Structure 1
Amino acid sequence: MEQPVVIEEYNEKWPFEYQQEERKIKDALANKAIAIEHIGSTSVQGLGAKPIIDFMVGVRDLNEVEEFIEPLAKIGYEHVYHKEFPTRRFFRKGQRRAGTHHLHIYNYGSEEWKNNILFRDYLRTHPEVLKQYNQLKKELAEKYLNDRVAYTNAKNPFISDVIQKAKWSE
């Protein structure tokens, strides 16, 4: 069953949860991960979020991800195939549409990799934009309470705009 979209106030435990899980992921992937980053709203202090910890793992080649399926399964991550995202591999910990941790794997240094970091870091350093995004998320969560896909899609124009601003300010 689909969980409703609920935006919780920022929780100081999220970075700690990330660090604990990051160790397990590093162990499971051995030396295959070039970098692991905390992304998504739980990575931005003061930003409300769905209580899902997002990880981004950078690899040299997405074909390597086949080797990760079994080790990640042993620590509770299920591989979820998304044909609409050919440049990303995705793993979820927790139930479908109610995951507790999301693991996104990209080619290290790819456009998607850079955009995730640009967006996160821009929010971290621009309190006014963070406030706007927080407000938008709350409004969209009310509007799309039972439709996570619509909620996510409705955030995309704001996210794209922030990424463009971040690129211009580099």
Structure 2
Amino acid sequence: MLGLPKGQVFLVPWSNEWQKEYLLEKDQIQEVVGQYILAVHHIGSTAVKHLSAKPIIDIAIEINEFQDGEKCITPLETLGYAYKGTNVLPDRHYFNKGEPRTHQIHMYQSGNKYLLEQLAFRDYLRYNETARIQYEQLKQDLSTVNKSNKHKYADDKTNFVKSILDNIKK
């Protein structure tokens, strides 16, 4: 199942289909904007086996120059993405697809600190079962309390994410 209706927060159990969906989308993205791409990454909770997640595929795209993101807008629109600009989330071009939303693209200049943190956090959860289970429990609790407030849901996960990133840096 993919798709999160606007204004809702809920989790679904992890699915093998998420990896397949990511790979299909990655191929389509590379077909239309491949000349600007250095790397494409599956990020977020759908990229971590056995982690319940909001049913949205998060994709990080690394580009060489930040302004190249503007050259990707029209081609990505042909795949159904809506460009939301650079002010939604820090230091990235942000796109989303579908209503309900099924995919998000976070487009970063290579070496961006937010990209590196997302990849580090994802990898930590992939290889640390205890942390993955703790994070899943936190997300389940927060999704119950914040069913219609995605910003509060995201903000309330911040301390956990920061603690993992601080632990990685040690």
TM over 0.5: yes
Give me the TM-score of the superposition, normalised by structure 2.
0.93
RMSD between superposed Cα atoms in Å: 1.3
Question: Contact 1:118/1:167 (CA < 8 Å) preserved in 2?
Answer: no
Q: Which amino acid aligns with 1:79?
A: Y
Give me the TM-score of the superposition, normalised by structure 1.
0.93
CA 1:114–1:15: 2 relative to 1, 3 Å: same
Cα offset, 1:86, TM superposition: 4.2
Q: Distance in 1 between matches of 2:157 and 2:41?
A: 21
Question: Contact 1:91/1:102 (CA < 8 Å) preserved in 2?
Answer: yes
1:131 aligns with 2:128: no
Match of 1:34 among 21, 32, 38: 38
The alignment covers a number of residue pairs equal to 166
**What is the aligned partner in structure 2 of residue 71 from structure 1?**
75
Q: Where do 5+ consecutive residues of structure 2 fail to align? A: none
Q: Which amino acid aligns with 1:55?
A: I
**What is the aligned partner in structure 2 of residue 146 from structure 1?**
148
**What is the aligned partner in structure 2 of residue 4 from structure 1?**
8
Cα offset, 1:133, TM superposition: 0.2
**What is the aligned partner in structure 1 of residue 84 from structure 2?**
80
Cα offset, 1:61, TM superposition: 1.3
Q: Where do 5+ consecutive residues of structure 1 fail to align? A: none
1:108 aligns with 2:86: no
- Identical-residue share of aligned pairs (%): 31
1:97-156 deviation line (CA, Å, top 9, x unaligned): x31000000111221121011000000010000000000000000010111111011111
**What is the aligned partner in structure 1 of residue 120 from structure 2?**
118
> Aligned to 2:37, what secondary structure does the other structure show?
coil
Q: Which amino acid aligns with 2:57?
A: I
Cα offset, 1:82, TM superposition: 4.5
Match of 1:18 among 12, 22, 31: 22
Question: Contact 2:96/2:105 (CA < 8 Å) preserved in 1?
Answer: yes
Cα offset, 1:30, TM superposition: 2.5
86-95 vs 134-143, greater mean Cα deviation: 86-95
